[in-house]
Amino acid sequence: MLKGIAASDGIGIGTVVTVKETEIKYEPRAVEDKEAEKKRLKDAIADFLTRTQALAEQMEKSVNAKDAEIMYGHIAMMSDPFMGQQMEEQIDSGACAESAAETVLNMFRDMFAAADDELTKQRATDVEDIKTRLLKILLGIEDTDLASLPPDNILVTRDLTPSMTAQMNHDSVVGIVTESGGMTSHSAILSRALEIPAVLSVKDAVSILEDGSRVIVDGLKGEVLEGPAEEDFAEYKKAEEKFLAEKEALKAYIGRETLTADGIHKEVFCNIGNPDDARTARERDGEGVGLFRTEFLFMDADSIPSEEDQYKAYKKACVNLQGKTVIIRTLDVGGDKEISYMNIPKEENPFLGYRAIRWCLDHPEEYEKQLRALIRANADTGGNLWIMVPMVTSVAEIKAVRSLAKSICDDLALPMPKIGSMIETPAAFIMADKLAGYCDFFSIGTNDLTQYVMASDRGNSKVAYLYNTYDPAVLRAIKGVIEAGKKAGITVGMCGEAAAAPELIPLLISFGLDEFSVSPTSVLRTRAEIARWTKDEADRVAGAVMELETAEEVKEYLDRELARG
């Protein structure tokens, strides 16, 4: 049995078809006729844009318009004059068109790949897909034919790219296995959009799984069963039927208020990365947006976006949510999130370095642009935009932000939006009672909070065993933050991955969490899980958990409680 990440729910039973991409090789060469080489590059880019437009239109029909935006994003990136200019400068320096394209696209890929969150990293996959397809055009290499796949196939590939998804016959694919990708990668997003069971990050899957062999893909547990016995087929068929029944039952929660079993009101919000995602959040029945990551606006540009460009993006997100709350995080960049034009110096320990609010307060002119854009968008869309400040470690930082915002509001004669703190550092947790006096809300970022509380770099496999939100130390921090917020009378939400973990929901209900911010695909499941618990039942579970000593004990206990149904 092979293990990976359960990225798209369901059970797929079929025959393996491996996609082994043609290796792209070329000999870098010095160019004498630079104008001719530039024309060759321009012609290849034009061909790329034409082909990508066709793929996007095909994806609109075969998947949906929202997911086709990934392909339109490829068009936008390669249509950017800055991108072409960078490549032409490489040719002016003597590089051939292939080298020029690869050098520039690798630079952008590495910039996105260095980010600490999976949503930003998926942009690196976009750039890699663009690079591969552009180089194939320059070298005259034809794409693998995915339109003629046999029925009931399990597609096994290194990575499921948007361009592959647009080309393949979706009706014939019953399962997907990849060697790379995480829960928010394009492979996961597209698999879920197609409702095809998928297991990602299965090491050496392409070489291990043989063409024509029978396998079972368990997208619920993240397992791939090779050469299953007859009894395995029967067992997994039952699991598939159970999954489909539960999925159908979730439809009952569409349009319903989020309530515990005894009627306590909660809210399920969504995490998004751009204004268009806000529409997806609404379509998936999210009650608001708990985290809009604004660094995407900066990463997609060749200079710091103007106040006007930012204003339009923030306003669009609010309009797409149609009056629901939109919590927008101010720029969380620096350290490991490298944006070349910002010239942020390399650091030995970027997670503890010059990032987020530290960089922003050190660059007040640029930060004021963002705050002005946010304040204007809030005023123009009904006052439902909340401003969230990341990486807060002291009261002085939140006071400084409020002072800047008040000055801007006074200057523009506009109302002050709600301003809150992301609680993701031990200092913020320890000082939560004091921070609450200067915040309109808290949002707990469990991804970084876990990392910092446990002193465990979440990107370091050697200490990955310590990076665990179920650890009693992390749970005590979460409980303490919520208690401080409730005592001060402010809303407390959670925008880390833990907000969607079914096992943790009774604890979060007991602690008093108001708002759960999850991926759009997790909205109904989270709402249904909240509806399972009364406050008394949640308190019983929390009381037992808070007496335990290890993450393993906590997880085992919560799994048993969840299984009790």
Give the count of beta carbons closer than 10 Å to the beta carbon of residue 54: 12
Token pair for residue 73? Answer: 């994003």
Four-residue CA torsion sign, 192, 5, 120, 97: negative
Output the six-digit token pair for 525: 């499941």
Beta-strand relationship, 198-200 and 288-293: unpaired
- State residue 346 phi and psi, 5-degree precision: -65, 145
* β-bridge mates for residue 517, sequence order: 269
One-letter-per-residue 3-state SS of 52-83: HHHHHHHHHHHCCHHHHHHHHHHHHHHHCHHH
CB 3 within 8 A of CB 223: yes
Rounded (to 5) percent helix, strand, coil in the chain? 55, 15, 30
Taken as a whole, the chain contains a residue count of: 565
265 annotated active-site? no
Q: What is the residue whose two structure tokens read 């869309």? A: 381
User: Residue 494 forms beta bridges with which residues?
Assistant: 444, 516
Euclidean distance between CA atoms 89 and 107, whole angstroms: 14
**Radius of gyration of the CA atoms of the chain, in A:** 24
- Which of 360, 409, 439, 495 is labelled catalytic? 495
Locate tokens 């204004």: which residue? 275
Contact, 214 vs 194, CB < 8 A? no
Please state, in angstroms and as integers, the Cα–Cα distance from residue 554 to each residue in 5, 443, 474, 530, 561, following that order.
Answer: 22, 23, 11, 19, 11
- DSSP letters for 340-373: GGG-PPP-S-GGGSSBTHHHHHHSHHHHHHHHHH
SS3 388: strand
How far is the C-alpha of 181 from the C-alpha of 202, rounded, in Å?
A: 9
Structure tokens at 492: 């407390």
363 is catalytic: no
Give 533-538's long-range contacts (Cβ < 8 A, gap of 24+). Answer: 533/260, 533/261, 533/505, 533/506, 533/509, 534/260, 534/261, 534/262, 535/260, 535/262, 535/264, 535/509, 535/510, 536/262, 537/261, 537/506, 538/260, 538/506, 538/507, 538/509, 538/510
Catalytic residue among 186, 360, 409, 439: 186
Tokens of 512: 């008093």
Q: Are strands 325-329 and 153-157 parallel, antiparallel or unpaired?
A: unpaired
What residues are annotated to the active site? 186, 495
